[in-house]
Structures are given as C-alpha cells and as structure tokens.
Structure 1
Amino acid sequence: MNTTPLSPGWLPEGTVYGTLLNFRHELALWAPHMNEAPYQAPPKAPVLYVKTANTFTPTGQPIALPSGASVEVAASLGLVMGAGGVAGIVLLNDVAVAHDSYYRPPVRTRCVDGFLGLGPECVPLDALGGLDALRELEIELHRNGVHKQTTRMSEWVRDAVTLLTDVREFMSLRPGDVLMTGTDCLPEGGRELVHAGDTVEITAPGFKPVVHSFVAEESA
C-alpha cells in the first residue's frame, strides 16, 4: 500500500450531503426494523445527513480520534455539482463515531473535526464515462496494507441518476455542493473500525488514492 502523503488539490466549495441506506445489503439488514417506532414504515425518500466544513481533511493529512470513541471508516463517491449538473466525481473516506440507528443521524457522530477524508482531485465526469458508467466502479479499502472491503456501485439502491432525481424533489443542489452516494457496510452490518496508528487507503479506477493516517486526539 502506498502511504506517501499526497498534495491536497481539492476542497468542497459548498455543502456536502451524505446518503444513508443506499446499498442493498445494508437496506436488507435494516428492513425488519423499519416498521418499528418512531416512523413505522421504511423511508420513501433518500435519507440524508450533512458533513460540515470542520470535517474536511485533505488526503495525506492525519485524522484525530476522540478519546474513548469507537470510530468507523467507509468509502464513498461524491457527486460534485456544477452550473449544469454534475461536473465531476470525488473519492471520499466518510469517518464517523460508530452508532446503531439510521434515524436522523446526529451531528455528534458525523461531524467531528476532521471526519471527512477528501480525495486529492475532482475527476471530470466525462473522464469516467458519465453517470451511468459509475455503476461499474468498485472501490477498495485497505487498512495498514490489508484489503478490508470492496464497495461495488452495482449494489446501489438508487444509482447516481435516480439519487439526484429523488433528492431534487425536495431540495436544491447548487454549484459546489457535493452529494455522496452512500457507503456500504461489511457483511455483518458494521463498518471498518480504526485505531490510533492505523493508515487507511481508498482506491478506485480513474482516481488517485485517498490516504489518511489516524492519530490519538491530543489532550486539552
């Protein structure tokens, strides 16, 4: 695994939105619980959350782990909006404090300082063959040089076109905004956990690697 720090070349210019339950396996695992309180029905629209600007960590820079927290990582594609629609795609490492519920994911688990690892570039959509071609992509996640997960876009519940269409039914996306297409879980339902001293590398065809090391949070 290449752990050489890469020069950051891209930062989000708008709001970053994450998407939950957009992979078939995780949706199937949650299905038995979706008729329980509080909503008593499966979600009909995409379930979104926000990754705030304090979470942005360029590739090659370390991410600090809060003391005592169980922290998970997962690979995602981000649709970067331009004036006429999707302008490009970025590879991301979505970091979160591990939690059980998919209902209204709290800011405190998703928006910890540094908890969105950014790819070094926004790849033009045309270079990847358009939105439909994204369904053929596979993303590899390695921790400390060991392969831990392959995320296949063919397993999306909503492909990129459908996700965009459904999100735009209830909100606008502006140039510079980023819509993440979701993260997949591991076979047992969780996501890869990281600890201080770990290095995570995320790769996909057509993208430069996303590399982040994890360190213990400094005491105040």
Structure 2
Amino acid sequence: MNIHWMPEGTVYGTLLNFQREHARWAPRMSEAPYKAPPQAPVLYIKTANTFTPAGHSIALPAGKPVAVAAALGLVMGDTGVAGAVLFNDVAIVHESYYRPPVKFQCVDGFLGVGSECVPLQRLGGLDGLTGLQLELRINGVHRQTTALAELVRDAVTLLANVNEFMTLRCGDVLMLGSDCLPDGSRPLVHAGDTVEISATGFKPAVHRFEPEVIA
C-alpha cells in the first residue's frame, strides 16, 4: 500500500514573496485600505479540507476560472524545519489577490500535496533551497519555471520574520510563496487537465482536475 505524506498541522501560504509579483503590486501598496507597503510577511491559510494527496483528482467548480501555482513548503519538526514538500496551490481567480478571500483559496481539495517530505539535510539545509527551481507542466507541456533565487524573503529570512509574530508548531507548514507569469496571471486549468509540479530531489506532485459533481 502506497501511503502519501499529508500535512498534520496548519498550512500557511505567503503572498507577494517573489520579486516580479511584488514589483507589479508595489504601485498599489500605498492605496486604501493599507496606505503603505506591508512590513511583515503577508500570510493566508490553506485549511485541512483543501488537502488533496498526490495522484488524486481535484474537483473544479463549474463556470469559475481556476489557477494553479507551484510552491515549496517548509515542514516544521520538533526543533525547527524538518523537511520540504512540493505543493500545487489552487485558487479561484479573483480580483482581490492582495486580500485573498477564504472562499476562493479554501475550496474543497484546493491544495495538491506532494507525495513526500524530503529531509532538509538532503536539500542542503535552508540555504540550499535558494538554488531550487520548481517546474509546472499541464498535460505534459511546460508552463512555468519558479526559481527560489527570486524570492523577496528567502527561506531563512521568511521563517525568521514569521517567528517574530507567531509560533509555528511541529507539523505546521510554511509555503514560501508562488510566482506569477510575466503578465501577472497564473496558469489556468480546465476539467481533464493533469498538472505536474517537479523539482530536483523531489518526486513529482501530480494531480488531475475533474469537473465538480453536484449531488
């Protein structure tokens, strides 16, 4: 029996942590309601109902555009980061990305989880993550490369900044963020598509998207 790794705690996502997307949003960061750029990491939560194991299907709500994004998550252990996992962070496309509503981020099944937590020492520690590139393919066609060298806050800095205002407990996951395409969007998926996210040292995270079945 093949048992895939699954999160045991809370999964946190990070917004605006890639240089290209941060630059695109910078002119709007001083608008209402915030009127200033964020000083701390901007986080959101992926709730337990969103977790979809590798190799399983994700249901797409009818009539709503859905985007996918490659992300790397840091898995907390008893004494710090224990390992890292690939994720497919799925969301309904929405205007208010800077303030992401739960109803667009936390739809049932909307976090594709990689099949394994790779021990941090095998990846060269937190500093070793900087050289990783995440590849996203839809139906076998390359759609995006996400380079962790282009993070605004690298893994060490993001973790330290988050720990300044909250405690990450054993089993929690902190995703480093996801990047946008050059036009500011993220790749869209449709019913029947298969999305594969891969990186050196990891087994690919593969999920198929199916139309939602309404009883």
Residue 191 (structure 2) aligns with = 196
Q: Report the secondary structure of 2:33's partner residue.
A: coil
Counterpart of 1:66, as a letter, is: P
Is 1:106 aligned with 2:104?
no
Residue 14 (structure 1) aligns with = 9
Is 1:95 aligned with 2:107?
no
Counterpart of 2:100, as a letter, is: P
Residue 65 (structure 1) aligns with = 60
Residue 135 (structure 1) aligns with = 130
Residue 35 (structure 1) aligns with = 30
Tell me which stretches of 4 or more aligned residues in structure 1 moved more than 4 Å.
none
TM-score, normalization by structure 2: 0.98
Residue 115 (structure 1) aligns with = 110
Is 1:26 aligned with 2:21?
yes
| Structure 2: runs of 5+ lacking an equivalent | none
Contact kept in structure 2, 1:7 and 1:59, CA below 8 Å = no
Residue 174 (structure 1) aligns with = 169
Structure 2 counterpart of 1:208, from 199, 203, 209? 203
| Structure 1: runs of 5+ lacking an equivalent | 1-5
Q: Return the alpha-carbon distance in structure 2 between the equivalents of residues 122 and 184 of structure 1.
A: 22
Deviation at 1:124, TM superposition (A): 0.2
Distance 1:97 1:80, change over 3 A: same
> Which string of whole-angstrom CA distances, capped at 9 and with x for unpartnered residues, describes residues 13-70 of structure 1?
1000000000000000001111111111111100000000000000100000011111
Structure 2 counterpart of 1:74, from 69, 74, 79? 69
* Paired residues, number: 215
Q: Return the alpha-carbon distance in structure 1 between the equivalents of residues 64 and 106 of structure 2.
A: 14
Deviation at 1:8, TM superposition (A): 4.4
Q: Return the alpha-carbon distance in structure 2 between the equivalents of residues 20 and 138 of structure 1.
A: 18
TM-score, normalization by structure 1: 0.96
Contact kept in structure 2, 1:78 and 1:90, CA below 8 Å = yes
Give me the CA root mean square deviation: 1.1
Deviation at 1:9, TM superposition (A): 1.6
